[in-house]
Amino acid sequence: MQIEAPAWYCARTKPKHEHIAAANVRKNLKLEIFNPRLSLDRATQRGVVRSVEPLFPCYIFVRCVIEEKLNEIQHTNGISSLVRFGQRIPKVGDSIIEDLQKYFKAEEPMMVEDSLAPADEVIIADGAFAGMQAKVLRVMPATRRVQILLHILGGPTSVEVDRASVVSGKDTMADRIPVLAAPPRVRVRV
């Protein structure tokens, strides 16, 4: 009888329960977990708020011998199910998890800073124009201000606002974390 080696599997969690599921699997089942998270600014009714969100909403990765832990994982608080294709539970390659872990040191959330540039779309997070979209005209790092183009009073108007008053209108993870979305570099030997 061949002994299976531990492998990574993807577990689906209940919505907004990634951290609960990860903590329960780690504490109760003593299994290795990978739950990559991002720390980023969000525009809310209260202004700009720093929040922590999962890189993969509703999913965490669990390392185990699946035949030994299947029932326990499926019945852990916060876990909805294991990802399956028919009856098969696919493994996630060690190299994929290792590549991701290079960017998420010690389970700490990756800090995502909005890097604004001229022509970027932004959302005003507080003040009289909260919720409005604008386009960046100029970034002034020395004064921590941004010049934006707003469409108000029937036409475009240039306004200077505090950098903390705007958040990027970019909504994809590839926009927010270009280092993860970049294609792998191919080394050419000369």
Read off the pLDDT of residues 18-33 as tens digits, 9 standing for 90 and up: 999 999 999 999 999 9
7-111 shares its CATH topology with 121-169: no
What is the spatial distance between Cα 151 and Cα 134, in angstroms, rounded to a whole number? 7
Could you write out the DSSP letters of every residue in 64-131? E-HHHHHHHHHTSTTEEEE--BTTB-PPBPHHHHHHHHTTSGGGPPEE------TT-EEEE-SSTTTT
Contact 21, 77 (CB under 8 A): yes
Smallest CA-to-CA distance from 147 within 128, 131, 171, 166 is with 166
Give the predicted TM-score (pTM) of the model. Answer: 0.67
Domain at 7-111, CATH class: alpha beta
Q: What is the CATH number of domain 121-169?
A: 2.30.30.30
pLDDT digits (tens, 9 = 90+) for 154-188: 888 888 888 888 888 765 555 555 545 544 444 44
Domain boundaries, the chain: 7-111, 121-169
Does the structure show a pLDDT above 90 at 4?
A: no
